[in-house]
Chains A and B, each alone.
Chain A
């Protein structure tokens, strides 16, 4: 059985030393929670992930989901784990206390997601979607709908899905053909087929509650004509219990590269004309409401990339410490030289360091973004609320696309670190790699994320959100570029941020005449912005860590290089802080300079991809 390991020290560092989420306690919204409470939730969530979810990860991959006589059959171990998940009450972690949740800040939700998605992605997707549907109902449902659906979703007796995709409507959601016709009872008759629906049908929960995009009869074409409906597999009775069948059937399931334990279903609504849906909000508000939920869902998908990358890194690190191969680099020519663990080979260290620094950068980016959302919700100051809400909007496509891409690359390097053993199923990293691949595709492909960044987010509030964020980066650079150990890399961040700003200006000026230019280059721009934001957080962390490290040197009276080295080797805390400094240094030297070449590419105005005749 593969063991799931998370870097608890880094997680605690981000939460309590860098972001200082315990300060949320000063706000009315989160007054119930202090550091000790966060610590309890963290400990218990990690334990649940390791004891209940990690053991089923490989089972789900090997057994997969089956479709038999019109029923979707999940591995038995998943059904059992779901039972324990339900008893644990985990679906309610970040939901408000009014609806029966715990009301934790979203940044803690992020920690729980890191553990659960990392320990078993294919299990935790279904439960993640339940959280999404609860969010839709609590924010947009009528009191009646809340009463009928929310309690069973919060108790996880029922699970949720999001149904957007149809065969002709993938990225182009507006091409949806599902229809909704108003009935005399105030509900709507739903007809049509959705495909690729995660958690569409399964035997873990008693009922599945779908959020379905569909078009009312006289609604206009395109996404503006879509409305959003709550469509359960079984209608609730008046008491909110599972009632009669609502004509929602799984048509088949997909067979996939990864997340094999997660049911991906074709869902047929109203084949026999008996499917009813409850409207959320008003008719034709569908896309607007979906957008409201999008930040959370997209950040969660970014978290999938990060957490699998981080888990793969832990596995690679453990392996590299044990695997003996070849002599030390300085004794290459001596056939009698003892064999060393591969962690001593420089190229292996380079790969490990890439995984370490990138996954730490992603963690800081994702947690910080969730924390901005919490601050935006918790603060009474309208200016601060605006600022944090703006950053959340701006960073959402970065979290999603950059998080999934870089997390996947970390998995890839973990496979490489293990060599042939990384490629075979005996070790967990090949599964992490296959499972992580989906995150770049669903919830809006990464290409679509880049268009969202360039087309929508750069222009938010006349560009002031984006400029405000870059200004924050430059203020930090101005203050810290003279720092004795990290100054040089802080300056590199300043250069990269300038380049990102320069490209954005170019997009704004050229884009109005030549729409191909910004869209062709949206992706390399997103990557550049991702590098800048990851470096921004890594450097802030490194400065804090350096301060702690210097303090420890002083307390131990370690003045000479040898004494300091010894302290770092012997004392795990010193080693951690030192490692944080190295992470920032590595990232800013090996990864961040890619911004320069990407900028050069973009500014060249090259159009070969457009000119070519395929």
Chain B
């Protein structure tokens, strides 16, 4: 089977993010980047499905040239080839991302589209759902287990208060949760081989996508600093404060 799978470059979630003084974005100088952890889960699932059923996994990233470095990690893990759609992060919103990915899907015609359930930079958790909507395909998000059997796929997904198992017809869109698997680390010889694998570079225009956005970013602001705690003397006082100051009761 042929699987399309995302490989997004994100800022290192362990890094301390600072905003530009004018609030126009985050300060990127000196930041470390890595592959989105949820995309790693999606990649691991795609590669092991291909190992079990044959076919190929094609990794796609939307990003600038630096993102190709992270796409290489996906190739080193075992994706057969890569596609870079050249855009900068600032040009994208979830809707445009989904429309671009949908066009890539149509061009590649895979049996399955695997995405991370969200990217750990923006944490939007929207793209997989939107892609399915644009393409009119069945979707199963937050997968913790994927089983493929002739033309169908069984997906166990994590929902509030338990697990839900869905049966989908192929082609379908699935987004991966952390508990889906333990992503493999690339092997040294495969890192070397990855650079010989094909990476195709496209632009949104090549794909016939109009690069318009529904969401405009006005400005970035750091969350307010946590105020110091107070010690209350009585339960009475605590209830009082929760009611009147925190307004949670």
Chain A residues near B (Cβ < 8 Å): 8-9, 32, 36-37, 39-41, 43-44, 47-48, 51-52, 84, 87-90, 92-93, 102, 570-573, 575-576
Contact = CB atoms under 8 A, between A and B. Distances in A.
A44 B191 contact: yes
B216 to A, nearest CB: 26
Contacts of B186: 44, 88
B73 A43 contact: yes
Contact of B30 (A39, A88, A573): A573
Contact of B21 (A36, A52, A570): A570
Contact of A102 (B21, B76, B185, B189): B189
B73 to A, nearest CB: 7
Contacts of B248: none
Given A8-B32, A40-B194, A44-B191, A51 B72 contact: no
A88 B21 CA distance: 42
B89 interface: no
Given A44-B73, A88-B188, A93-B188, A37 B195 contact: yes
Given A40-B69, A40-B195, A573-B30, A92 B188 contact: yes
B189 A84 contact: no
Contact of A89 (B27, B30, B69, B189): B189
Q: Which of B185, B188, B191 has the most CB of A within 10 A?
A: B188
A47 B185 contact: yes
Contacts of B73: 40, 43-44
B109 interface: no
B192 interface: yes
Interface in B190-221: 191-192, 194-195
A40 B191 contact: yes
Contacts of A44: 73, 76, 185-186, 188, 191
Given A9-B30, A571-B29, 11 more contacts: A32-B192, A36-B69, A44-B73, A52-B185, A88-B185, A88-B186, A88-B187, A88-B188, A92-B188, A571-B30, A575-B30
Contacts of A41: 188, 191
5 contacts: A40-B73, A47-B34, A87-B187, A88-B185, A102-B192
Nearest to A552: B29
A611 B73 CA distance: 64
5 closest Cβ contacts across the A-B interface?
A572-B30, A89-B188, A573-B29, A89-B187, A572-B29
Contacts of B185: 44, 47-48, 51-52, 84, 88
B78 to A, nearest CB: 13
Nearest to A8: B32
A321 to B, nearest CB: 11
Contacts of A84: 185
Nearest to B184: A87
Contacts of B76: 40, 44
Q: Which of A39, A44, A92 has the most CB of B within 10 A?
A: A44
Contacts of A102: 188-189, 192
Nearest to A84: B185
B98 to A, nearest CB: 29
Contacts of A9: 30
Nearest to A571: B29
Contacts of A36: 69, 72, 195
Contacts of A572: 27, 29-31
B112 to A, nearest CB: 26
Contacts of B194: 40
A8 B185 CA distance: 19
Given A47-B185, A48-B185, A102-B192, A576 B69 contact: no
Nearest to B32: A8
Interface in B17-33: 21, 27, 29-32
Nearest to B68: A36
B48 to A, nearest CB: 15
Nearest to A576: B30
A59 B73 CA distance: 29
Nearest to A88: B187
Nearest to A575: B30
Contacts of A573: 29-30
A45 to B, nearest CB: 9
Nearest to B195: A37
Contacts of B34: 43, 47
Interface in B155-196: 185-189, 191-192, 194-195
A526 to B, nearest CB: 36
A92 B187 CA distance: 11
Nearest to B21: A570
A102 B188 CA distance: 8
Contacts of A32: 192
Nearest to A34: B195
A43 B33 CA distance: 10
Contacts of A575: 30
A456 to B, nearest CB: 36
Interface string B23-60: 00001011110100000000000000000000000000
A51 B72 CA distance: 19
Contacts of B191: 37, 40-41, 44
B188 A90 contact: yes
A9 B187 CA distance: 24
A565 B192 CA distance: 43
A102 to B, nearest CB: 6
A395 B198 CA distance: 43
A43 B31 CA distance: 14
Contacts of A570: 21, 27
Contacts of A89: 187-189
A102 B194 CA distance: 13
B188 to A, nearest CB: 4
Contacts of A52: 185
A87 B194 CA distance: 17
Nearest to A39: B69
Nearest to B186: A44
Contacts of A37: 191-192, 195
Contacts of B32: 8
Nearest to B194: A40
A93 B188 CA distance: 7
A197 B231 CA distance: 59
Contacts of B189: 89, 92, 102
A555 B30 CA distance: 17
Contacts of B188: 41, 44, 88-90, 92-93, 102
Contacts of B30: 9, 571-573, 575-576
A5 to B, nearest CB: 9
A44 B185 CA distance: 8
Nearest to A41: B191
A99 to B, nearest CB: 13
A9 to B, nearest CB: 7
Contacts of A92: 188-189
A575 B27 CA distance: 13
Contacts of A40: 69, 72-73, 76, 191, 194-195
B167 to A, nearest CB: 34
Contacts of A90: 188
